[in-house]
């Protein structure tokens, strides 16, 4: 678990930690290894206490993070990016319910 006042900074901290601990593997030239086929959520996912902006979804999609769950609604552009990336996008994740957008 990582925290920051800004949602973008919090996600960047997570990405940095994953890269530093070898959980993100890059080929020469900075290209992420692995396929772009729809990854499984069992490979890991991101939960954030913010809305799902398109920037957050885009970062997750580029890193092939299979799912993003937030406590608020995603933007329409975030939904489109998640659809294209074939990643799961969840909003309104509050006990006992959540809404899957993609």
Q: Which domain CATH number covers 41?
A: 3.40.140.10
Strand pairing report for 97-100 and 88-94: antiparallel
In this predicted model, which residue has the larger pLDDT, 15 or 2? 15
- For residue 37, tell me if it sits in a domain: yes
Strand, coil or helix: 14: helix
- Encoded tokens for 101: 């957008």
- Tens of pLDDT, residue by residue over 45-94, are 888 888 899 999 999 998 888 899 999 999 999 999 999 999 999 999 99
The pLDDT of residue 12 is: 85
Q: Model-level pTM? A: 0.76
> What's the domain count of the chain?
1
Domain with 87 in it: 7-100
- For residue 2, tell me if it sits in a domain: no
Consecutive H or E run containing 100: strand 97-100
């Amino acid at each position: 678990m990582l925290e920051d006042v800004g949602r973008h900074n919090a996600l960047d901290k997570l990405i940095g930690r994953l890269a530093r601990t070898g959980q993100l593997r890059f080929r020469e030239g900075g290209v992420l290894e692995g396929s772009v086929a729809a990854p499984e959520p069992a490979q890991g996912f991101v939960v954030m206490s913010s809305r799902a902006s398109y920037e957050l979804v885009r970062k997750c999609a580029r890193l092939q993070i299979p799912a993003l769950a937030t406590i608020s609604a995603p933007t329409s552009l975030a939904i489109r990016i998640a659809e294209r990336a074939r990643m799961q996008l969840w909003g309104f994740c509050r006990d006992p319910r959540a809404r899957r957008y993609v």
